[in-house]
Amino acid sequence: MARTVRDNRLDKREARSRLGSRNEPYWRLVSEGAHLGYYRGATIGKWVARYRSPGSAGGYKKKTLAEADDVRDADGKTILNFKQADEAARAWFRQCEAGDVGPNRKVAAVADLKVGDAVDSYIAMRDARASARAGRPVKSDAHHRLKRYVKEDSKLSGMKLANLTELDLKNWFDRVSGLKATSKQRLASDFKAALNICFALNRRVLPPDFPVTIKYGLKITIEDWDEPAPIARENQILGDKCVRELIQLAKATDPDGDFALLVLVLAATGARFSQVKRMRIADVQFEHQRLLVPTSKKGKGRRAELIKVQVGPDVLRELVPVIAGRRPEDTLLEHCRYRQISPTKWVRVRRAAWDSASEMTRPWKRLTEAAELPGIVPYALRHSSIVRGIRAGLPIRLVAALHDTSVVMIERHYSRWITEGLEEFAAKAIIPLLAA
């Protein structure tokens, strides 16, 4: 008895985003023996199709159609939405029924894929994601790293993926010079992602041990980590008095009060900008005197959670007029958007949520210049919050949890303040050892 294929919701991006990555595509029945499939990769998806004549006991004929519009908008050719993929699959099914399907031309073309092709595809995906976040066309950090160190390396970028060996990758790594260990790690991570995504989409024509080649060919060795572990810059740790003065100065110099409120919330929570900008009205809990901060999107497979951060009544008072008359699902922090109508005149267009950290650049520069603190970055508010918790004697695990990081990162970057902050507690363990 033939096994029944469970239909999956593939027509909506949101529904596809909830599907987990796996080796087998998710299938949707089109007609007897004909299925449209969606392969969920680590970052992007692929439309596939399979066909078997009704009543036939043989295996399925399969075809890769195109990339899904998970990250980039559909162009009707190399990137298809669900409707376009359905039409392309039905056209291929008709060819199969007519017996007009010869050798898989797609496979023949993919067999000639080069390292540079995998990198180009990954750069385009990362640029599209960065542009979507910024609301304008931008180039991602991966774009610059991979273009400079991989694309411009003619020995590697022109090599066929099917012929790539572990030694080729190690020799390329040896040619990369002038980078710190942390920068090498970021470059290796981007390059690994580019090759792994390409393998996931074209695994039928690439060697089955290709992921192993990537894993060990781009592995950072112990010799690459011979530099001292980085620590938080001392001049970026602000005292409590300095933080208060920055907030008061921001309130005095900000006519709208939006930027000053952003600085206040960053200082009170110690969160990253990417977390604070996603906070909602419902995340302000007056009865518990706390704010709920969304977790960072860093890492793999992390669930969306909220961190409960206690704040003072002075911070909550500043938020009272902000939330009045607004819906719980509205974004908490907003600011005015302006449009330039002449070389010297700007007009207010609308209010909108903070979108990119670059929107803080100009007002933050004016603030630090007025406070005579040149070189201080907004991340200093996070550094200062972490050190404040350490000096207050909070358990390191609690400090890490409140700031959405790990104990290892706290110990690596803030070890000096850990030892200094615990001196008082260590002193309490001293007892007289000699008789009076």
Instruction: Quick: pLDDT tens for 311-333.
Output: 999 999 999 999 988 999 999 99
Return the pLDDT at 104: 41
Output the six-digit token pair for 189: 């991570």
- CA neighbours within 13 Å on the CB side: how many for 114? 12
Summarize the confidence of residues 364-383 as an average pLDDT. 90
Output the six-digit token pair for 347: 């007009």
Q: Are 335 and 359 in contact (CB under 8 A)?
A: yes
Output the six-digit token pair for 379: 């991340």
Summarize the confidence of residues 170-189 as an average pLDDT. 84
Q: What is the pLDDT of residues 226-241, one digit of tens each?
A: 444 444 555 588 888 9
Output the six-digit token pair for 142: 């991966």
Q: What is the pLDDT of residues 38-71, one digit of tens each?
A: 988 777 788 999 888 776 666 788 888 988 888 8
Summarize the confidence of residues 185-208 as an average pLDDT. 85
Question: What CA–CA distance (Å, rounded) separates 165 from 168?
Answer: 5
Identify the residue whose tokens are 């295996």: 59
Q: Are 308 and 286 in contact (CB under 8 A)?
A: no
In the three-class reduction of DSSP (H, G, I as helix; E, B as strand; rest coil), residue 261 is classed as helix
234-424: CATH number? 1.10.443.10
Q: Are 240 and 193 in contact (CB under 8 A)?
A: no
Q: Element (H or E) spanning 31, and its range?
A: strand 26-31
Q: Which range scores top for mean pLDDT: 122-136, 211-225, 376-390?
A: 376-390
Mean pLDDT rounded to a whole number for the chain: 82
Which architecture, in CATH terms, is 13-102?
A: 2-Layer Sandwich (3.30)
Q: Packing angle between helix 115-134 and helix 181-201, nearest 10 degrees?
A: 100
Question: What CA–CA distance (Å, rounded) separates 406 from 205?
Answer: 40
Which residues are paired to 133 by β-bridges? none
Count how many residues are written for the chain: 436
Question: What CA–CA distance (Å, rounded) separates 128 from 66?
Answer: 17
Question: What CA–CA distance (Å, rounded) separates 206 from 164?
Answer: 10
Question: What CA–CA distance (Å, rounded) separates 12 from 14?
Answer: 5
